[in-house]
Structure 1
Amino acid sequence: MIKDKKILLGVSGGIAAYKACALTSKLTQQGANVKVVMTKSAVEFVSPLTFQALSRNPVYTDTFDEKDPSKIAHIDLADWADFILLAPATANIIGKLANGIADDMLSTLLLASEAPVYIAPAMNVHMYAHPAVRKNMQQLESWGYHFIEPGAGYLACGYVGKGRLEEPETIIETIIHHQREEMIENLSGKKVLISAGPTREKVDPVRYFTNRSSGKMGFALAEAAAAQGAEVTLIAGPSEQVLKEQNIHRINVVTAAEMYEEMHRHYAASDIVIKAAAVADYKPKHVYTEKMKKQGGNLQLEMVRTQDILMSLGNKKDKQFLVGFAAETNEPLKYGLQKLRAKNLDAIIINNVAAQGAGFEGDTNMVTYVNKQEDRNEIGLATKTEVAKSIIQLILRDMKDEDM
């Protein structure tokens, strides 16, 4: 839920700014791309250089310091972020945001952004309880801002009570929990159709053509969608994989023709369709009823094309969000983009199966997600379970964008 997220961290002027350093480090370690914006007061507590070193990104402190003349910095940052985190959030920045005041870099971009905002307050116990601060927080909550309650304990001012910035680990856990809940809401009631595994094309009673697909990636996608509340139908070729989630309707098939039939049978009722199966492109023209006997010399078998499942689904696409896979060994991006365009897909998952740690049979993968606008998202080397979760997030993002 954090990996590959673009997070804008707003640091305002309080002693708790030192905790924002640890927060930046932990977010970065979890794979997030963090950019830090500091108020003038925050710079009095922690040097911008500290955040630059921890985030490996420039730090922004001045509305008029335009680092790139081709862009307006506060607008560019506002559009860039997947979400914004204010930590620590002082009474001052909360008041500015609640009343539409934009007089520095942080407050200006907050008004310019449509990204979700998480606010982690930190202040004196009496300030936190003041009616003006409570009113401002209530106003922001009514607008959809998300608060991460401060902890209670000894404060820097000497008081004991509520107002201490929550610990970085808890802030991250709270954000992950909230985003997971939102995704459950997004997938609740959605019907997801997924294909997984290989197919087998019979030659005779003892031989068949197949491939190295284990089904692990497709099964991981089914688990990820089901865990977030979707009604999942999994069309599975021969595979030893076992489903952990019980609310997945699994249909076992063997041949490409059987997979074609089942995918089309469930297609019309589906909202999201992910074709992760490695389906045979060819099958023997003649299937022998008796075992073929070994003979001297070479053997030639005539092969014929199987039906292109993904192309046929793309041609019939109505309301479905259709996602394909492109497993390549040579120029994967080139051939993946060709497949995206030719088969009328909403997104394509491209991976180089020859790369170390990626591809068939293993427990890890790394892929490139490309949507129909040809925007690319790299999902780095991770377990197939984690890759599946990232793919589902990206699909939901693109579906949400289409609905807007």
Structure 2
Amino acid sequence: MQHHFCPKSFPSTPKDIISDESRRKQIVIVGAGASGLFAALSLKRMGVVNVTVLEASNDIGGRLKAVRPTSSDLTLDVGAEWIHSTDGSRVLNSMMEGLALDGDNDESNKVELITYQPKWYFGKRRSKLMTTIYKETKFKSATWYSWLKDNVYEKVKDNVELNSPVSEIRYNNKQEGGEKAVEVVLANGEIRTADVLICTVPLGILKQSIAKDRTSASASASLQFNPALPIKLQEAIHAIDMPPGLRVLFQMKEKFYPDLTSANSLFTLLCNPNEMTLAYDATLGKDREENILAVVAIGNEHAGKRFGGMSTCEVGKEALRIVDDLFDGQGTVNLIGEPLVQDWSEEPFIRGTYTFPGSNRHRRTLGQSIGESGQVIFAGEHTSMKYHSLVPGAAYEGRRAALDAVGMMAD
């Protein structure tokens, strides 16, 4: 069974299509995840000169993150991991199509991929059905994070400012005397101005921005809009779910676990695929000697209630209990060192995993611009009606937002 959950084509980015006057206008992008970086590269390709990407954290990637769980050079994704297509090369090539800059190396986008078709288990029972129908591709030695960094960030790195959290976005400003339409207030009080702003912060941060009780949000992660976002947009932000989720990596002495084991039953997983706990071989197909077992928990029940409020140490211990329950105590017996925990719910500039299916009407609203002259554009996997939750979906929306911005500048 072939799976092609990703876009087959992406918005075009014609080279140098704007006037000299328009190319000098200022565009600010908030967020240096996949969507923000693809927006920046698209704008650069189209000839926009003044582009600034403000990233709140100390690294790019957003929910694309890779770590080294052992002392070797093995690097694994702890955020987005799967390409979600049986033709991963086509997806990666499509994402970069039309974004070449002068002097680019045509070989830069080529990475080695593996066919990923794990043997599925539900508890101790093997599922021939899921083993047969589930097939896609993953990176072999690279990661989503390294691919984004090498192919996109490296081309726009001079435009990216790390450790630059935004606390307030003021839009609907009058453009008298050449004043910019948008003011961007950083957490340190510095004010930047822009003709157009592209906001690519995750939906979890947008949810915080409209929450009546903002005391739970840390001051460094708090984002406000002035004036407040339109009611229809607030309703759309509230309606789409971005639940908690985490991933824990364990280094084990021996491989006592199958390729992939679900703590859910097959019936439960099919009825509610948005609530899951999986334990899987994180090095399957990578030709590595290390035994790395990953545990992923996603959803308000599986992640929120079971792990909510726990410290990093407690999350690791609770995830190990899941391993022991699934594999008769073998986790504790074989564990080497401390587990590596990535809890996306606790990341101050993320606050969740990825968005779950919802009304296309709400996603359409999320993707609309706001302001008297449309000065603020939203983009991210949460604005995609077809490809939400996917890295290619975020890239698609970043490219779409760049085209929208160029259109506004030309008006």
Instruction: Give me the TM-score of the superposition, normalised by structure 1.
Output: 0.24
Larger Rg: 1
Instruction: Give me the TM-score of the superposition, normalised by structure 2.
Output: 0.24
Higher RCO (C-alpha under 8 Å, 6+ residues apart): 2
